[in-house]
A and B are shown apart, each in its own frame.
Chain A
Amino acid sequence: MKQNKSVWLLMFLLVGLLLAIGATRSGSAKTQQDRIDSITSNLACPTCSGESVFVSQAVAAQAIRLEVARQVSTGTRTDDEIISYIEQRFGGQVLLVPRATGLDSLVWSLPVASLIISLWFLIRAFSRSRKNKPSAPSAQDEKIVEQALAESIAKSRQS
Chain B
Amino acid sequence: MLSKYLVKIVSGVVALILVLLLWVLLISKPSDGLVARSPLLGQPAPSVVGSTIDDQPFELQRRKGSWVVLNFFNSTCVPCINEHHLLVDFANREATNENGAELYTVVNDDSDSAVRDFFSKNGGSWPKLKDDNGTIAVAFGVARVPETWIIDPNGLVRLRVTGELSEGLLEAQLDKLRNEFG
By a beta-carbon cutoff of 8 Å, the part of chain A in contact with chain B is 46-47, 59-60, 62-64, 66-67, 70, 86, 88-91
Contact = CB atoms under 8 A, between A and B. Distances in A.
Contact of A70 (B39, B109, B133, B143): B133
A60 B144 contact: yes
Nearest to A88: B39
B63 to A, nearest CB: 20
A47 B139 contact: no
A62 B142 CA distance: 12
Interface of B: 38-40, 46, 108-109, 133-135, 137-144
A59 B135 contact: no
Contact of B140 (A64, A89, A91): A89
Nearest to B138: A67
Closest 7 CB pairs of A and B: A63-B134, A89-B141, A46-B143, A60-B143, A67-B138, A90-B141, A66-B133
A85 B126 CA distance: 30
Given A66-B133, A70-B135, A89-B39, A59 B109 contact: yes
A59 B39 contact: no
B137 A60 contact: yes
